[in-house]
Every structure is written in structure tokens, then in C-alpha cells.
Chains A and B, each alone.
Chain A
Amino acid sequence: MTHIKTIETRNLCDSAKNGGCGECQTSCQSSCGIANQQCEK
């Protein structure tokens, strides 16, 4: 019996190894909100 369905997500721990290029869109939260951004790497 399946009790858990895992939704496909970007693994943040992995992104620590291959992220940080700085090309993604600058965001304002007052392009609002970091979570809404797309990675551009």
C-alpha cells in the first residue's frame, strides 16, 4: 500500500553543488518573490 506520493522537485541540497551562477532574474518582493523565479542555468 502506498502511503506517500512524492512530488517532483528540485533538490536544494544538490543545487548547493551546481547553483549560484547569478543569471536568474532579480526579484522584488514588494519579478516578485524568490520562489516564483526560474533558474536560468
Chain B
Amino acid sequence: MIHQYKLNGYNIVLDVCSGSVHVVDDIAYDLIARIDAALPNEPDRADLIARLAESYPDVPAGDLTECYNQVAALRDAGKLFAPDTFAPMAGELKQRTSGVVKALCLHVAHTCNLNCAYCFASQGKYHGERAVMPFEVGKRALDFLVEHSSSRRNLEVDFFGGEPLMNFEVVKRLVAYARSIEKEKGKHFRFTLTTNGMLVDDDVIDFANRECHNVVLSLDGRKEIHDACRVDYAGNGSWEKIVPKFQRFVEKRGDRDYYMRGTFTHANPDFLNDIRAMLDLGFTQLSMEPVVCAEGDPAALTEADLPIVLKQYEDLARLMIERRREGRPFTFYHYMIDLKGGPCVYKRISGCGSGTEYMAVTPWGDLYPCHQFVGEERFKLGDIWQGVTNADTQAEFAACNVYARPECRDCWARLYCSGGCAANAWHATGSVRGVYKYGCELFKKRMECAIMVEIDRQIRE
């Protein structure tokens, strides 16, 4: 299977199953399309070249034959129209690693000092009571992770909420505890912290820059956009309070990873303007994500928003290329794909690992498949003392893979999205194995842009 598209002056051919990416001229682009249309019936070589000659009367016959030979050579090398031999592997990685947990999302605070209109976690409470995680619960969660990590060395822990800095003392103690057992257990913890910025001070900055592999700083871009949603309980916008804190945070972070993480909604499908606003503030590692909310919610993106959003993604790719050439580069999370060193096919068909190798822990120690399922009682998997006791629900997640979704089997992007997000699918269709089609459209456009940006980089370097 192949995917062909034209973007920013490039004719691009993606060979789905080998992962090969080709930049071709118009003749090769047309020839490959004709072969694709004919398959599985093998088209006649002479007929193909004759029809190409009709389309390109000014091109010497020898050039057309040479083009055919180059395409044929790629096919022989397994880099064009490579067959899909991966279906039998679906589920193999999860089966092989059954019971292994390597990442936890610690909900250290089910409370928040902001009252954001679009919060999927209902202002941090996840449809429940306000709570903060006691140290003993967090410590047991870390022990649970180590006990179930098998031979995995790299373990990931996200401090999440609500607003995790509302329980900062426990966060610090948990990191100290994890560091104290790393050597003995032969593990390496990678911590991340997601914050709205309200409680950021020099103590937080120094701690995070010393201990956190990555930090996610919530900022929606333009002041009027940010302050329309991200308000405190008195209704006051938070932009003016947090931007100077984030600027100091990033300045002191040096070369370490961070992401300014914005949300765009029906109010700002023109989110490229928010990207530009963040660039103007001096931030260069950026992420703008579509809102997660129920259909019909005033914030929800609509069908009318879709073409606007898709164009933003293309314009964003051009802006990245333009600024890179000017020596003022920035990164957009979804465009940072590594074509040479990306994940293997097992990972690509297995998906994110939610409910199996990755789980969320509530402040009182319950386990859920991921942060987006917390508060949905039927998805409770167990707890950090007993482990997973809801085997049926875990089996639902273990069975999630690209080939479990009929809609994905013929999609060119399936080995890039791995079947998509189970939580989004559940919200959109009522099944964790459903397909959130609006999200698919956004994802496919992001991948087309990301591949084009990487092509431009490789060609110019």
C-alpha cells in the first residue's frame, strides 16, 4: 500500500509497510499512481510507458523507460508496494509483555487552582471529590511499578492532576524515594510534570530542571484566547500571572526538554496565531492540541472548523521550514518524527499501551487504563495493593491494536497512529476499539506535514 500527496512543492510517495519515503518528479508520481490503480493486477510495462508518453509528449522515450526502471528497482528492493506481513504480529508484543508495567500517571492532586472551561477532568476532580495523594500511596505506586516492570530499565512517571503543584511536597518526596531505590533495583526513572503555572516559583523551577526529564507548561497562546478559558474561581484570566513564570522556567531550563502545551477549541481553529504568539514570547518547543470534550459542547470543534484547522497545520509546517532556514528554528511536537530512528513495527501496531504497560493511579491508589478514564467506574482495573483485578477490562485494552479496528486496515496512516487513542474512541463511539474519525483527519494531515518537514530537512542538509 502506498500514499501519494503533494505538499509545499514536493511530490511525496509513502510506502506504508516498509516505511520508505520517496520524493519524485511528476512523471514518476503519475507512473506510480497508474501502477497503484492497476494492482493487484500487474500492469503491462509497454502499455504503461506508452500511456506515459501520451501524457508527456515532450519527454524522450528513454527517460520514460528509465523512470519505469527506477520504480521497478524500488519494488524489487521492497521499498515500494511492500506487502503487509504484519497482521499476524498484532497482539504479539502485548502477549509477550503481559503483566509488565513500565509507566504510571500519578494523579497527585484531584484539585486545581484554575477553573478551565474545557477541562476534561472537570476542574481536576474527575467527577469525584477533591483529593490529594498521600506520600504513602505514591510510594506504594512506585513500588508497584518496580515490582511489575520485569526487565524494563526505563520507567516513566508523570505527575499529573488537577494541578500537581498543589501537592508539591509529596512530589518532591516521591522523586527522592524513587532516586533512592534506582541503583538497588537497576531502574531509571524518567519524571514529567504537567502544570498550569500558577504555583511555579524558583523552588519548583530548580526542582523540575534537576529532576524532570520533561515538563509540560499549559499556555493557550494569545492572551484573549487563553484568558477566555483558563480562569481562576473568581473568573480572572491567568495569562499575565503565568507567562513571566514560564519565561523564567524555560530560560533556566537551558537545553532540557519542555513543551508549551496549548489547547485549541471552536473559539480558535486559527491556532497558528497562538503558535506565533508563543514564539513572540520566546518559547520554541510548542504543542497545540485539539480540545477533548463531548460533541455539542460549546468548545467542541465542528465540521466547519475542519478545513480551517487542516490549513493551519500546512501553514505551520511552512512556518517551521521558513524559520529553520532563517536560523530561528522551533519545534512543534507532532512534527518531530524521526524517520530513521523511530519505533519498530511491534510498537507501531500495538499502540500506546494504556491499560497494560501504562496506567493511571488515583490519589487513593485505584488503577485506571489511563488518565482519561479516571472517574469512569467501569474502567477501574484494580488498585496498587491488589494489582489488576478487573481482568476483563484489561483484556479489552490488551486487544487494542491496529488490526483490531476494521476501519484502520486500509488506512495509510495506521503504522503512524497505531489505531489512535482508546479514550477518544470511547468518547466518540462508546467502544475503546472504535475510531474517532475527526481525530483521524487531523492526525493524517499532521503526518503528511511532519513527513514533508523532515523531507525538506534531509534534502537541504
Interface of A toward B, CB cutoff 8 Å: 1-13, 15-16, 18-20, 22-41
Contacts and interface: CB of A to CB of B under 8 A. Distances in A.
B22 A6 contact: yes
Contacts of A36: 333-334, 336-338
A12 B415 contact: yes
A27 B24 CA distance: 32
Nearest to B287: A32
Interface string B79-100: 1001001100100110011001
Contacts of A6: 20-23, 74, 79
Interface string B383-426: 00000000000000000000000000000000111101101100
Contacts of B136: none
Contacts of A32: 287, 289, 333-334
B338 A38 contact: yes
Nearest to B32: A4
Contacts of A13: 17-18, 78, 82, 85, 345
A38 B154 CA distance: 13
Interface in B96-126: 96-97, 100, 102-103
Contacts of B17: 12-13
B232 interface: no
Interface of B: 17-25, 27-28, 63, 66-67, 70-71, 74, 78-79, 82, 85-86, 89, 92-93, 96-97, 100, 102-103, 152-154, 156, 190, 192, 287, 289, 292, 333-334, 336-348, 351-354, 357-358, 370-372, 415-418, 420-421, 423-424, 447, 450, 454-455, 458-459
Contact of B421 (A5, A29, A38, A39): A29
A4 B159 CA distance: 47
Contact of B70 (A4, A28, A30, A33): A4
B415 A7 contact: no
Contacts of B341: 10, 38-39
A23 B152 contact: yes
Contacts, number: 179
Given A26-B352, A36-B336, A7 B23 contact: yes
Contact of B347 (A18, A19, A29): A19
B352 A28 contact: yes
Contact of A35 (B66, B67, B342, B458): B342
B352 A27 contact: yes
A20 B346 contact: yes
A5 B190 CA distance: 39
Contact of B339 (A3, A10, A29, A30): A10
7 contacts: A4-B71, A12-B86, A12-B348, A15-B345, A22-B357, A30-B421, A39-B342
Looking at A9, A16, A35, A37, which has the most chain B CB atoms within 10 Å of its CB? A35
A9 B343 CA distance: 11
Nearest to A22: B97
Contacts of B353: 26-27
A38 to B, nearest CB: 6
B447 A35 contact: yes
Nearest to B413: A35
A1 to B, nearest CB: 5
A4 B417 contact: no
A16 B87 CA distance: 12
Contact of A25 (B27, B154, B454): B154
A7 B28 CA distance: 15
A9 B421 contact: no
Looking at A13, A26, A31, A38, which has the most chain B CB atoms within 10 Å of its CB? A26
